[in-house]
């Protein structure tokens, strides 16, 4: 009986901890991954029209992309600049607008890693 109570207490404490940790480790849907890879590739292309049509086709806003998308470990603006895509990097930078203070702990970034 004592073992049963110990097991029950252990489960009661472990379940809430798992409930908080599992969503953060959940795999992203295939649709979301495809969308993010397409946006990263469009940003890398240095073609503003391609970036605009890609974001429009997935109903994404440039500001959201600029603030939350991470491509291969870099934020999307740095990623575009690193690949010589100055036009698309400037478009994304312009979408951010004025500088403001943001609580970075509350902003969830979407990270995607891909290879060509």
What is the model's pLDDT at position 26?
57
Burial class (CB in 10 A: 0-12, 13-18, 19+), 52: middle
What is the model's pLDDT at position 114?
79
Residues 6+ apart with CB under 8 A from 72: 40, 79, 112, 113, 114
What is the model's pLDDT at position 7?
47
What is the model's pLDDT at position 49?
96
Domain boundaries, the chain: 28-112
Low-confidence ranges of the chain (pLDDT < 50): 4, 7-11, 14-15, 17-22, 24-25
* Digit-coded pLDDT (tens) for 96-107: 876 555 555 556
* Digit-coded pLDDT (tens) for 24-35: 445 789 999 999
DSSP string covering the chain, please?
-HHHHHHHHHHHHHHHHHHHHHHHHPPPPHHHHHHHHHHHHHHHTT-HHHHHHHHHHTT--HHHHHHHEEETTEEHHHHHHHTT-HHHHHHHHHHH-S-----TTTPPPEEE----
């Amino acid at each position: 009986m004592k073992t049963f109570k110990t097991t029950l207490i252990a489960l009661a404490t472990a379940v809430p901890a798992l409930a908080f940790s599992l969503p953060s480790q959940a795999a992203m849907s295939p649709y979301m991954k495809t969308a993010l890879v397409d946006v990263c590739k469009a940003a890398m292309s240095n073609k503003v029209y391609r970036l605009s049509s890609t974001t429009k086709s997935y109903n994404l806003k440039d500001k959201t992309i600029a603030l939350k998308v991470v491509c291969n470990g870099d934020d999307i603006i740095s990623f575009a600049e690193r690949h010589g895509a100055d036009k698309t990097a400037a478009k994304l930078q312009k979408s951010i607008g004025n500088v403001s203070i943001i609580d970075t702990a509350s902003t969830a970034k979407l990270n995607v890693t891909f290879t060509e």
